Structure formats: C-alpha cells, structure tokens
Amino acid sequence: MGLFSKFKEKFKKKESSLDAKTYDKGLEKTRDEFVSKLNILGIKYTKVSEEYFEELESILIKADIGVKTVMNFIEKLRKRVKEEKIEDTKSLQEVIVDELFIIYVDGQNLSDKINFNENGPTVLLFVGVNGVGKTTTIGKLAYKYKNEGKSVMMIAGDTFRAGAVEQLKFWADKTKSEFYGKNNMDPAGVIYDGLKIAKEKNIDIVLIDTAGRLQNKVNLMKELEKINKVIKNFISSAPHETLLIIDATTGQNGISQAEEFKKITDITGIILTKLDGTAKGGIVLAIKESVDLPVKFIGLGEKMTDLKPFDIENYIYGLFKDMM
C-alpha cells in the first residue's frame, strides 16, 4: 500500500476542517488546471504508453513542478509501472499522486514548524525581493500570533525604500503590535535599538523586515551579515528563523530567488504567498526538490486568516480531492 492510500482516511476526516476548506479553495486554480488535465489524459489513454508519459510530463511541467523534478518523477513512475506490472492508466493515477506525495515527505526531516525560543523573544527575520508580499505577510503573522495571546513587535529593517517603514507601521497599528522603525538609517542600527526595546518589554515574538534588493548581492549579503551579528549579540540563539518570502505566481523565477538567497544567507524556511492566484501550485514540490527547504506558511487568500501553516496532507488533499 502506498503512502497516499494510507492517508486517504485522514483526508476524509479533514474534509470538514476549516484549514482543509481554505486549502481546497486556495488550490482551486491549480486543481482545475492540473487534475482536470490528468483526468482527461486518463480518458484519452486507457493503457500506459510512451505517448501517455510524454503528455503527463508536459502537464507536470506546466503545473510548475520544475523540469528536473519532473524528469526524476517520470523515471520513478516508469520503474513502478515495470515492477508492479501496471497496464491501465486508472491504476497509474493513484501511483502518480503517491509519488508526488513522496517527493515532499520521503526521508523528510525538514520541519514545517517554527522554531520558538523558550527563553526570551523569538526572532523571525524576513527576506525576499520587493513586491512578493513581505510586509503583508508579516502583518498576517502578527495577527495570528496576537490571536494566540502572544505579544508581538515589528522592526522595520527596510529603511531606505520609500514608504517601507510607514507600510510596516500600518500593519503594526492594524494588529495592535509594538513597532520600531526609522527612515534612512543603518538597518542594523535600527534593529539593534528595536531589539533592545523588545527585550525591555518582554516581547514574545519579534518580526524583522529587511530590504529586498537582490540586484546587488554583495551589498545585501554584507547587510544581512551585519544584521545577523547584531541579532546574535542580543540573543545568541537568534534569529530563530530566517524566512524567505516568495510570490507563487512568479513560478520558476521564485525558485531562482530561493537559490540566490540561499547563497547569501542562512534560510530556514519558505513562505509562499498568492498560491490562490496561480494554477502553478506545483511550485511547492519544486521548492522542496530544488532547494531542500521546508515551506513553513502558504498564502491562500486576501483575508488575515488566509496565511496558513503549511500542511502537506492538506496540500495533497487540496490538489487531488477530486481524484479520491
């Protein structure tokens, strides 16, 4: 019995949960595009053939799972077809879902959970290019943690971009979070002063925004090194997470950003925004395969509650519920 089959009962129980419904709605575009094509392919070809594999490859690439991931995946499918003597495409469909599931969970020791600090503030550092929804995501996370009864502070480390500090302040006010930020100042200095206040006030969670200038990697690397040094001087175990924010609608460009940011700083996880706005939800699997980083949160809508902790079971359910 495959991994997917084992989780089928879990999926049935999940159907009524609020998170499953959000995943269901948020992955609608990908599901309509991707699963409907899989179903049509299964009708077009009742028997497994070379033509079937070629068209399947094309469908998977269009879902933005990534060429390298797709090639490895097709190879595994071919192997299972041979070993398990699978002849009809209907039987192969479950194997397809099974193998996509395995991409993410097989040998999995990456944690999708946030690493909280038990002694003093938990510091979350956010990186990512401009326009990916970084500030909005920080606001949504602040809202989540405030609702869980935690005290939150935002620090504006993006000090030179016009309107960046004010934008973060807007979200701090909206979520009733503490805030520290100053325009046109050294980001590390601003973060130093903000952390000092956070410690004095015994803040539970500190969310730090940073500049998103990937064009000049050397400068950004130096800036992030300096910021990390300042944070560690205050709390030796911090930052407890360095989260890269990627706009899911940018597809493979998002993967390139992950690869570049991974070179210049120690990324611990990914937050995928705007997943509801794309039919290329396969990017979740591509990220895992390409950069081996866990997806910690995904954005599935505009509402404050639509930023969800990533759950591979809900994700697979959201993609393939029509095939169950």
Residues 36 and 149 placed together within one structural domain of the fold: no
Task: Give the alpha-carbon dihedral of 314, 17, 138, 146, to 10 degrees.
Answer: -150
Q: Which two tokens stand for residue 291?
A: 């950069």
Question: Is 303 within the bounds of a domain?
Answer: yes
The 10 Å Cβ neighbour count of residue 55 is 17
pLDDT of residue 311: 85
Interval 33-47: pLDDT, tens:
888 888 899 899 999
The C-alpha atoms of residue 187 and residue 181 are separated, in whole angstroms, by: 9
Residues 77 and 127 placed together within one structural domain of the fold: no
Beta-bridge mates of residue 295: 270
Beta-bridge mates of residue 163: none
Q: Given 105, 136, 156, which residue is the final one in a domain?
A: 105
Interval 297-324: pLDDT, tens:
999 988 999 999 998 878 887 887 776 6
Question: Is 133 within the bounds of a domain?
Answer: yes
Query: Any idea what the CATH number is for the domain that residue 134 is in?
Result: 3.40.50.300
The C-alpha atoms of residue 66 and residue 286 are separated, in whole angstroms, by: 5
Q: Which residues of the chain have pLDDT under 70?
A: 1-18, 106-111, 323-324
Number of domains in the chain: 2
Taking CA atoms, 252 is separated from 62, 111, 154, 249, in Å, by 11, 23, 30, 9
Neighbour order of strands in the sheet with 241-247: 178-181, 152-156, 205-209, 122-127, 241-247, 269-273, 295-299, 307-309
Of the candidates 58, 70, 93, which has an alpha carbon nearest to the alpha carbon of residue 319?
A: 93
pLDDT of residue 203: 97
Question: Is 24 within the bounds of a domain?
Answer: yes
The angle that helices 312-320 and 18-26 make with each other, rounded to 10 degrees, is 50
The residue range of the domain holding 177 is 122-311
pLDDT of residue 7: 59
Which residue carries 């099974």 as its tokens?
Answer: 98
pLDDT of residue 281: 83
Residues 96 and 184 placed together within one structural domain of the fold: no
